[in-house]
Structure 1
């Protein structure tokens, strides 16, 4: 009986009644924004990293990436919960896609040259909610940290 009620409340796309499904690219961008906003500091460098990631990884042009980042900031500020975004990503991304997203989250966290405890906690939380093992959380951090250090030496 509960299954029948749940099916009635969901549309054909699985969204709750009155809810639109979340597009995967927007969901990814919102998680990047959540990482950038975690330390309550200016997000200038983080915005640049987000736009580059969206251009490189998703094949967007710079204007589309900038528009997506702006939309993600708006959605992030208005969201009561990240559930819809995480649900979309957990359904639509395979393990490799989730690892790539985790790498982007770390790149955003390192954008200003350091990772604040709040940023690390947010990335850890998002990795757990994406069902990624802790070893991936650590491996991606070390990878991005090493790349960051190599850039600083050049």
Structure 2
């Protein structure tokens, strides 16, 4: 209860440093909506992508865990309602310079490689977003290479065709 009262007073007095209300013109909402889209584009958002998404938002926007969760929830809703990426990229183009837009593309690659590999849906989506942001093909590829170089190793996949590890050792 005390925290709620403290947040209310901070909002009313204008001293709320985290700007906990994220409106459609907030570049952070636009950026996170695109990040959420990349995390979900392959049909699933795994634990590594969820963790990396929270870490990126905290690092890049300086938000606490509560504001991060609020921003992600708002971004997920915005992404579901959006018919295209222009809604978000237009906000980012107005708010950010070329370097800032490149940082957004780098964050997109960071989410795509959170599980160690960027799939074709993620690659294609980032290509389209980068085009809308005015990030050149050259810069997009360089950003991808930079992120891929520091990405974790992909998790080994085990399907029904794979022999158990113990059987491989005996062979």
Matches within 5 A, 1:3-152: 21-148=24-151
> What SS class does the counterpart of residue 111 from structure 1 fall into?
coil
**Larger RCO, structure (CA 8 Å, separation 6 or more):** 1
Of Structure 1 and Structure 2, the greater helix share is in 1
**Is contact 2:27-2:92 (8 Å) kept?**
yes
Say what the alpha-carbon RMSD is for the aligned residues: 1.8
Alpha-carbon distance in structure 1 between the residues aligned to 2:152 and 2:145: 10
Give the alignment's TM-score, normalised by structure 2. Answer: 0.72
Give the alignment's TM-score, normalised by structure 1. Answer: 0.79
**Is contact 1:102-1:127 (8 Å) kept?**
yes
**Is contact 2:36-2:76 (8 Å) kept?**
yes
**Is contact 2:106-2:147 (8 Å) kept?**
yes
Deviations for 1:11-48, whole angstroms, at most 9, x for unmatched residues?
A: xxxxxxxxx74211100100101111211123432222
Q: CA deviation at 1:60?
A: 0.8
Alpha-carbon distance in structure 1 between the residues aligned to 2:152 and 2:53: 19
Distance 1:149 1:86, change over 3 A: same
Aligned residues between the structures: 132
- Structure 2, unpaired ranges of 5+: 1-22, 156-171
- Structure 1, unpaired ranges of 5+: 1-19
Distance 1:113 1:120, change over 3 A: same
Runs of 4+, deviation exceeding 4 Å: none
